[in-house]
Amino acid sequence: MTDSTLPCRLVVLISGRGSNLQAIGELIKTAGLNGRIEAVISNKGDAPGLEWAQRQGLPTETVSHREFATREAFDQALARVIDRYQPDYVLLAGFMRILSTDFVQHYAGKLINIHPSLLPSFPGLNTHQQALDAGVQFHGCSVHFVTPVLDDGPIIAQSIVPVLHDDDAQTLAERVLATEHHVYTEAVRWLIEGRVRLLADGRVEVAGLAHRGFYFPA
């Protein structure tokens, strides 16, 4: 929870086009929230999301993972850049790097990710095919605090979509993707408003909400 009298400072990490970044940027602009994207950082200099950020007048940085011999060295360099902006939260928005334990612990309680499954089910890659193979009837995405365990951590919000009998991995992925912008921006809204509390037992509480799932029928 941040001091509500000061703007909530966000740093967003991307590797590609940054569609969730754009949705978050539009939310802050149109909803009058007391938050600010301090910087957009990518591990790829040609990431289209950097161009979008620059057009919005947002500071951008590139820290290429290819310039470092180890993941730990890259993460240390990335953290040095992030820390210059003193963020309240670091948002992973399509940042395609597995982060080291030291990096995650450095931002404990501040590092947020969105994963295309209903965690704790189907961590890792190919989540939509995993869901189809398991025969589940519902799928979705999860916004969560990041912990050293891959695709783990306290869940802030989830979207839920039905799995249809004729779905393949692509159609299911498209249905889930259509919900990501909504659920991520809602979670960011709660963070900016200072309503999110990480409890001692590892669960999340959002002030004023009894339920943090969003169902999207087909």
By CB neighbour count within 10 A (0-12 exposed, 13-18 middle, 19+ buried), where does 96 fall? middle
| Cis before 120 (ω within 30) | yes
Q: How far apart are CA 64 and CA 61, in angstroms?
A: 10
Alpha carbon separation from 146 to 77, 100, 129, 149, 199 (Å, rounded): 19, 11, 23, 8, 15
CB 98 within 8 A of CB 150: yes
Residue whose pair of structure tokens reads 């999110």 in the numeric block: 196
CA Rg, the chain, in Å? 17
Strand 155-162 versus strand 138-145 pairing type: antiparallel
Structure tokens of 127?
A: 């989540």
Number of helices (H), then strands (E), belonging to the chain: the values are: 6, 10
Which residues are known to be catalytic?
115
